[in-house]
C-alpha cells in the first residue's frame, strides 16, 4: 500500500473517532419551522414534497441512461460509481418527500 493511501486511511479514521467523541451540538426546536405547512391536492407540506420531484426525476433518468447502454464506459467497473450517485439522488428524493 502506498504511503499516500496509508495517510488517507489514518486521517479518515481519526476524523471518524473525533466525530464520535465530540459532544452533540444542540439545535433549537424552531430550526425545523421553515417547512411549508400548506396543504394542496391532498398533500400536506405540498411545496416541500413536490420540490423533491427533481431529485426523483434526475435519479431515475440517470439510472436509465447508465443501465440502458447509452452511456459509454471504457471499463464496466466505471459504471458503478454513477449507479451509486444516481441511486443516492433517488433515495434523497424519496426520503425527503
pLDDT-derived band of residue 70, with 50, 70 and 90 as boundaries? confident
**Mean pLDDT of all residues belonging to the chain:** 87
Angle subtended at Cα 51 by Cα 47 and Cα 56, rounded to the nearest 5 degrees? 140
* Prediction pTM value: 0.60
At residue 64, the pLDDT reads 94
- Residues 13-32: pLDDT tens digits? 999 999 999 998 888 888 77
Residue 45 has pLDDT above 70, yes or no: yes
What does the CA dihedral 76, 78, 80, 85 come to, rounded to 10 degrees? -150
Residue 97 has pLDDT above 80, yes or no: no
Amino acid at each position: 500500500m502506498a504511503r499516500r493511501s496509508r495517510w488517507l486511511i489514518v486521517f479518515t479514521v481519526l476524523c471518524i473517532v473525533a466525530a464520535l467523541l465530540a459532544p452533540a451540538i444542540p439545535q433549537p426546536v424552531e430550526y425545523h419551522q421553515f417547512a411549508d405547512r400548506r396543504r394542496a391536492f391532498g398533500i400536506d407540506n405540498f411545496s416541500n414534497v413536490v420540490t423533491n420531484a427533481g431529485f426523483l426525476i434526475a435519479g431515475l433518468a440517470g439510472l436509465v441512461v447508465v443501465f440502458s447502454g447509452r452511456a459509454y464506459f471504457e471499463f464496466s467497473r466505471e459504471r458503478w460509481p454513477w449507479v451509486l450517485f444516481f441511486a443516492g439522488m433517488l433515495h434523497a428524493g424519496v426520503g425527503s418527500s
